[in-house]
Every structure is written in structure tokens, then in C-alpha cells.
Amino acid sequence: MDWFVYILRCADGTLYTGSSTDVDRRCRTHNAGRGAKYTRSRAPVTVVFRERCGEKSAALRREAAIKKLTRAEKLALIAAQSKN
């Protein structure tokens, strides 16, 4: 089962990074108010980035790395994927 890292854009414009095996289902969970505490008051959220990572451990490492990026670096990552 493949794992993914994803970035959500919240209604207030902030970005949230997470990991899941099913990004679309996880986004619906966030929008239903049952996701992360951070997104509960910032719904609706939309998926703006997803990256296949293979195993769970790889996804968690990539998630941690993305969370360390600045906002500008995250936006560049999103923009780079949008061009493909």
C-alpha cells in the first residue's frame, strides 16, 4: 500500500502538511471536522500538493522534512508540482 505526503490549503490561506494512504478520503475527513485539530477551525481545505512516498516510514520522514520548510519553500514545491 502506497503512502502519500500532502499539503492542504486552508480557508484562511495557511498550509497544513500530513500523510495518508488515501489523500482524498483524508481531505474529506479534515473538511468534516474530524481531521487534525489545526484544520477544524480552518475548513474548508483543499489538496494543493501530493507526493507518493511508498512506505509509511518514508512518508513520515518526507512529511517532517516538508514541515521544516518555510512557507515560501512550500509554495515553490506546490508550484513546481503544478507545472508537471
In angstroms, rounded to a whole number, what is the distance separating the alpha carbons of residues 37 and 82? 28
- Reading the chain (84 residues) residue by residue, the pLDDT tens digits are 899 999 999 999 999 999 999 999 999 999 999 989 999 999 999 999 999 999 999 999 999 999 999 999 999 999 999 886
In angstroms, rounded to a whole number, what is the distance separating the alpha carbons of residues 8 and 42? 11
CATH of domain 3-71: 3.40.1440.10
Residue among 41, 10, 46, 42 at smallest CA distance from 26: 46
CB atoms within 10 A of CB 39: 22
- For the chain, the structural domain boundaries read 3-71
Q: State residue 73 phi and psi, 5-degree precision.
A: -65, -40
